[in-house]
Amino acid sequence: QVQLQESGPGLVKPSETLSLTCTVSRGSISSYYWSWIRQSPGKGLEWIAYIHHSGSTNYNPSLKSRITISIDTSKNQFSLNLSYVAAADTAVYYCASSNSGRLDYWGQGAVVTVSS
């Protein structure tokens, strides 16, 4: 089955950009859609965005103005940039494979803390 692994800094300063990468293994990134989801104690699970290998994207309107999502098929990776972060963006960030809106397989999660 598909395996996913998030990577990126665990600490980001307020107003800076959070950058995470998800590496897909045991499967091709040219299959499925690929989503980012985050989980914080205050807001529970929140879907952030998805991307398809064709470049098609869909963003959560609540975060759209701050999100950039991209895909690198040659590396079997997709990435998330979230700009102008604040304490409310502190969360565990997950990447997952998406198929008809369901989230089949998840990475183990990356803990990101926003603090100076």
Residues near other proteins, by CB under 8 A:
35, 44-47, 50, 58, 60-62, 94, 100-109
Give the residue with the Cβ less far from other proteins, 27 or 109.
109
Give the residue with the Cβ less far from other proteins, 54 or 108.
108
Nearest approach in angstroms of CB 62 to other proteins is 8
d(CA 53, CA 38): 21
d(CA 103, CA 106): 7
Give the residue with the Cβ less far from other proteins, 16 or 60.
60
Q: Which two tokens stand for residue 1?
A: 């089955």
Nearest approach in angstroms of CB 105 to other proteins is 8
Nearest approach in angstroms of CB 92 to other proteins is 8
